[in-house]
Chains A and B, each alone.
Chain A
Amino acid sequence: MPAASAIKVLVVDDQLTMRTLIRSTLQQLGFVDIADAPDGEEGFKALIQRPVNLVLSDFNMPKLDGLAFLRAVRSHEPLRKTAFIMLTGRADADLVQRAIQFGVNNYIAKPFTAQALKAKIEQVFGALT
């Protein structure tokens, strides 16, 4: 049973609104170490500099979208095992299928509640303390 405070998170979304919202939701859930980035490219660079345990990434972003970002993470050995949860705006079957193919750990449709986010994270890490 991992403690939420022990999980380092990177939030990647091109919207400042969403980043702040997700950050505050995570804080409510007891997460402490939260970084963020405005797109996949910046997110990837941030991960190279400082790996995390969990990436929460939007799909639709400029420069490098969520899928390509996921792929980059999965194909870089040191990051390969990072837990990756995709945030999707739409329930797009094709998108989710591709994300699954690329090894996404879980996904969640926006907008979501704190409880829904918690449940999604627990599905990946087990119950949080």
Chain B
Amino acid sequence: MDPMEPFKATFFQECEEQMAELEAGLLALESGEGDGETINAVFRAVHSVKGGAGAFGFDSLVKFAHVFETALDAMRSGALEVEPEAVKIMLRASDVLADHVLEAKGQGQVDCARAQAMAEELAGLTSGGGEPLEEPGDGSVEGEDSFGFTPLMVDLDEAPAARAPQADVEEPGGWRLSFAPTEAMYAKGNDALLLLRELERLGAHDISLESSALPEFDFLNPEASYCKWSARLPGDVPEADIRDVFDFVGDDCPLALIHENELIKGAAPPSLVADLGLAPALASALDDPFATTPAPPPAAPVDVAALLSAARAEAPQPAPKARPAVKDAPAGEELHAGKEAGKAAAVAATIRVDLDRVDRLIDLVGELVINQAMLAQRVSEANLARSSTVAIGLDELEQLTREIQDSVMAIRAQPVKSVFQRMPRLVREIASATRKEVRLVTEGENTEVDKTVIERLSDPITHMLRNAIDHGLESPEERVAAGKPAEGVVRLAALHRSGRIVIEVSDDGRGINRPRVRDIAVSKGLIAADASLTDEEVDNLIFLPGFSTAQTISDISGRGVGMDVVKRSIQALGGRISISSQPGKGSTFTMSLPLTLAVLDGMVVTAAEHTLVAPLTAIVETLRPKPNDVRRLGPRGAVLAVRGAHVPLIDVGVALGWRPNPVDPAAGVTLLVESEVGGRAALVVDAIQGQRQVVIKSLEANYQRVEAIAAATILGDGRVALILDVDAVIDSRFLEKLESQPLAQAS
């Protein structure tokens, strides 16, 4: 194996993160929300991709990233204005960069012409800044010589790590000073920052701010002075130089200055020691430099923050708009900012775990749930009192098991962001292919759902977005003519609703052309010419197999996939999809999916001596029909009257081929179920055993696909039960096949 292989994997993983950051940053800039820090982050993302790519020798990726980086650098330095056109070009460049990354990964090929054109466009942004795909300057050799820089040698024995840090911190022999500017000093327009800068020039270190005198905000007098600074200076700085710094502020800024040697000699006036804020313990420690003092914590957090902020203030501020407050802010605010940053870092603490391990854990917890259920069953069979310790202990175990299961599921839960993030690019591409102006608005990106569901969300969302832009939105001219803004809005939203995740894709386009949909459905023989359908039913005709409204199959929505395929793939996940539309105002696709594909709340039933599980989400109600509510339709069919409406009765035992003839519905129990377009149906079963949460085991993975069965599970008593695919059972085509079988046998 290539020794670099594991590093490459890390690199590509990081690339994905960088690319996401890049796109998010550019989108923020496009919408005018970005600031200097956003430009920095965007620049860093490209820069990092380039850096890593260089290490692995991905030359074309490096070259393109270099051109991109150059343009971003110009934006960062202010040479290139942050205006929508430039950002749009960069967004497209980020797509090309993503292609390059994919190519480096060995997944696809970059369209060289497109990349070249893009590179030229980027170079054009920086007013023709050189040949586009030119080799990035190989600075390692050339660069050094041009500076005539001689590396600074270090004697290892003198290097700080060789010595204990505390010894350094408390090494006496330097100056200690503290100063407290008065109101008068500020009133004259002087600034403590200037004093600090001067002191720093003299080599001041360990500068710290004493801000404890600051009152609560309500009591703060903006013209009063509350802050006090202390610092240390190397002992060899002449005292006069230090006093010179404070010369022009004079009495307006009292200065306490002392040499540590004097402290040791005990020559320092006690008042001065107090002014310097030297704790008595510290002062006495200084008396005897050889005493082993309890070392103060190696670095008080304030010190780190103060040092860092000092370093920051002097560091180049590459972004023109990068928080101008930093330089002039009072030191107190800086310290605060430093702490905030630390807090943010702590919040984002995460670990990367191999997905296999999580899956293994989930499998194990699944087994645990089954074991617990089996145990519960044994105990109940033993006829123990509910109050027996075993029963109580078992109840607690059940509770715990549930909690463990929920927590484990939460590990796999991920925000839908990872899918949503890929969509802006798609929308840009479709928009430019269809010559429409589109703005994508996303909502609820942080909605969490199981990882397995996330992976399968991408295709349906992609298809719905394509459909919304290609069919839903009008051309800019049509929109303007209809009194709408030329730019169409497509909204992609995710939310949780009653234990499911709902994804909505809506557009503000023309809405569904119902007469045309109806005509097509009639002409394709999908509905009878005189069928009376509600608007909603007409809208949902587009999900029927074989329905496609596009007159010519366009490259965008076409691809040979109709909405029926989308619908089926969503149903395979236990999901539902529907559409609602308002002519002239737009359409909304609503797709709902279970939050997890690992467990299911189900109703355990028996039919023809088989145990089955019906998903609870599909069941509207359960009832025991009265004999006169059942109406026969022909030799085999029957309907059930439920509160004035008639629903088809389906005998589950017959539907699954377990018995030849339906039982008397009045003798069994019926489950009134609902599917998204198949409407309602009453499923006849023999008995209901109860409700429980079951762990889904794939039939396809362990056996093979079985029609009308979604999956299998293991019940508490160890039996395998099949999970009913309610939509498939109701599906008219499935029923027709059933109807035709006996006839075929008869003939």
Could you tell me which A residues sit within 8 Å of B by CB distance? 2, 6-8, 14-18, 20-21, 24, 40-42, 44-45, 48-54, 58, 60-65, 67-69, 71-72, 75-83, 88-93, 96-98, 100, 103-112, 116, 120, 123-126
Complex: A78 Cα to B140 Cα, angstroms: 31
Complex: A94 Cα to B140 Cα, angstroms: 15
> Which 9 A-B residue pairings sit nearest by Cβ, starting from the closest?
A91-B139, A91-B143, A68-B315, A78-B168, A72-B311, A48-B299, A111-B54, A123-B151, A109-B140
Contact for B304 among A45, A53, A65, A93, CB less than 8 A: A45
Q: Which residue of B lies closest to A112 (CB)?
A: B140
A-B contact pairs, 18 of them (CB 8 A): A16-B10, A20-B7, A45-B304, A53-B160, A58-B51, A71-B310, A75-B310, A76-B307, A77-B232, A81-B154, A82-B161, A91-B139, A96-B143, A96-B149, A105-B152, A106-B151, A112-B140, A124-B152
Contact for B52 among A17, A51, A96, A100, CB less than 8 A: A17
When the two chains form their complex, are residues A68 and B160 in contact, meaning their CB atoms are under 8 A apart?
no
When the two chains form their complex, are residues B308 and A68 in contact, meaning their CB atoms are under 8 A apart?
yes
Given the interface pairs A21-B55, A49-B298, the reply to whether A116 lies near B147 with Cβ below 8 Å is no
Interface size of B by CB at 8 A reads: 61
Contact for B140 among A2, A20, A44, A116, CB less than 8 A: A116
Q: Give the contacts of B266-323 with A (CB-CB under 8 A).
A: 298-299, 303-304, 307-308, 310-312, 314-316
Q: Which residue of A lies closest to B313 (CB)?
A: A68
Complex: A41 Cα to B162 Cα, angstroms: 22
When the two chains form their complex, are residues A15 and B14 in contact, meaning their CB atoms are under 8 A apart?
yes
Given the interface pairs A14-B44, A77-B206, the reply to whether A48 lies near B147 with Cβ below 8 Å is no
**Residue B11 at the chain A interface, CB threshold 8 Å:** yes
Q: Which residue of A lies closest to B9 (CB)?
A: A17
Complex: A111 Cα to B65 Cα, angstroms: 14
Contact for A69 among B151, B160, B311, B341, CB less than 8 A: B311
20 further interface pairs, Cβ-Cβ under 8 Å (given A53-B160, A68-B308):
A15-B48, A20-B10, A21-B7, A41-B338, A48-B304, A68-B311, A68-B314, A71-B311, A71-B314, A76-B206, A82-B159, A88-B139, A91-B143, A92-B139, A93-B147, A96-B149, A105-B153, A123-B151, A123-B153, A125-B156
Contacts of A93 in B (CB 8 A): 143, 146-147
**Residue B158 at the chain A interface, CB threshold 8 Å:** yes
Contacts of B50 in A (CB 8 A): 89
When the two chains form their complex, are residues B311 and A108 in contact, meaning their CB atoms are under 8 A apart?
no
Q: Which residue of A lies closest to B44 (CB)?
A: A60
Interface string of B534-553 (1 = CB under 8 A from A): 00000000000000000000
User: Which of A54, A78, A98, A105: most chain B CB closer than 10 A?
Assistant: A78
When the two chains form their complex, are residues A75 and B151 in contact, meaning their CB atoms are under 8 A apart?
no
Contacts of A21 in B (CB 8 A): 7, 55
When the two chains form their complex, are residues A17 and B11 in contact, meaning their CB atoms are under 8 A apart?
yes
When the two chains form their complex, are residues B165 and A78 in contact, meaning their CB atoms are under 8 A apart?
yes
Minimum CB–CB distance from B610 to chain A (whole Å) comes to: 53
When the two chains form their complex, are residues A64 and B139 in contact, meaning their CB atoms are under 8 A apart?
no
Contacts of B54 in A (CB 8 A): 89, 110-111
Contacts of A96 in B (CB 8 A): 143, 147, 149
**Residue B466 at the chain A interface, CB threshold 8 Å:** no
Minimum CB–CB distance from B265 to chain A (whole Å) comes to: 22
Complex: A13 Cα to B532 Cα, angstroms: 68
Q: Give the contacts of B52-111 with A (CB-CB under 8 A).
A: 52, 54-55, 57, 69
Complex: A23 Cα to B180 Cα, angstroms: 47
User: Which of B156, B162, B168, B169: most chain A CB closer than 10 A?
Assistant: B156
Contacts of A53 in B (CB 8 A): 154, 156, 159-162
Q: Which residue of B lies closest to A70 (CB)?
A: B311
When the two chains form their complex, are residues A97 and B168 in contact, meaning their CB atoms are under 8 A apart?
no
Q: Which residue of A lies closest to B73 (CB)?
A: A90
Contacts of A51 in B (CB 8 A): 160-161, 165
Minimum CB–CB distance from B419 to chain A (whole Å) comes to: 24
Contact for B159 among A40, A63, A83, A123, CB less than 8 A: A83
Contacts of B156 in A (CB 8 A): 2, 6-7, 53, 125
**Residue B510 at the chain A interface, CB threshold 8 Å:** no
Given the interface pairs A20-B10, A53-B162, A124-B152, the reply to whether A67 lies near B315 with Cβ below 8 Å is yes
Minimum CB–CB distance from B317 to chain A (whole Å) comes to: 10
When the two chains form their complex, are residues A44 and B307 in contact, meaning their CB atoms are under 8 A apart?
yes
When the two chains form their complex, are residues A49 and B299 in contact, meaning their CB atoms are under 8 A apart?
yes
Minimum CB–CB distance from A8 to chain B (whole Å) comes to: 5
Contacts of B200 in A (CB 8 A): 75
Complex: A71 Cα to B518 Cα, angstroms: 73
Complex: A58 Cα to B310 Cα, angstroms: 20
Q: Which residue of A lies closest to B136 (CB)?
A: A90
Complex: A98 Cα to B57 Cα, angstroms: 29
When the two chains form their complex, are residues B152 and A109 in contact, meaning their CB atoms are under 8 A apart?
no
Q: Which residue of B lies closest to A15 (CB)?
A: B48
Q: Which residue of A lies closest to B153 (CB)?
A: A124
Contacts of A109 in B (CB 8 A): 138-140, 143
Q: Which residue of A lies closest to B142 (CB)?
A: A91
